[in-house]
Each structure stands twice: as structure tokens, then as C-alpha cells.
Amino acid sequence: MGSKARFLIRDRDSKFTDAFDVVLAEAGLQVVTSGIQMPRMNSITERWIPTCRRESLHHALV
């Protein structure tokens, strides 16, 4: 019973180019950008990412 990601939430930083979004779209992910001038939304996203990484690595066998 695996789960599959459907969305990628990211901010509007210039380091994310259109090519980045194309690669993700080809992988079947829909890119959702954070709102303009919404620091609270960005902080929640930035806190969630390390938590997700930590939790997924606890279950991975290397």
C-alpha cells in the first residue's frame, strides 16, 4: 500500500525555472506555488519539508 505524491508546493524563488516545472509535470506532479507576499504560508511550507524528509528517511532502508 504505497502512496503517490500528486502535488509539489514551492515558493516563487527564481531558482525554480520553467524547466524544473516541466520535469515535475512529466513525472506526474502538479506544481503549486505559494501565494505572493504570504510569509506565513512560506514558513509553514518550509517547516513541513524537513519534517517530511525526516519521517520518510526513518522508514527507508539504506
C-alpha cell at 18: 520553467
Per the document, the length of the chain is 62
Quick: pLDDT tens for 8-47.
888 888 888 999 999 999 999 999 888 887 777 777 777 8
Distance CA 60, CA 62 (A): 6
In single-letter form, the type of residue at position 42 comes to N
**DSSP label at residue 16:** S
3-class SS of residue 54: helix
Tell me which residue of 7, 17, 11 sits closest to 36, measured CA to CA. 11
State pTM to two decimals.
0.53
Domains of the chain by residue range: 7-58
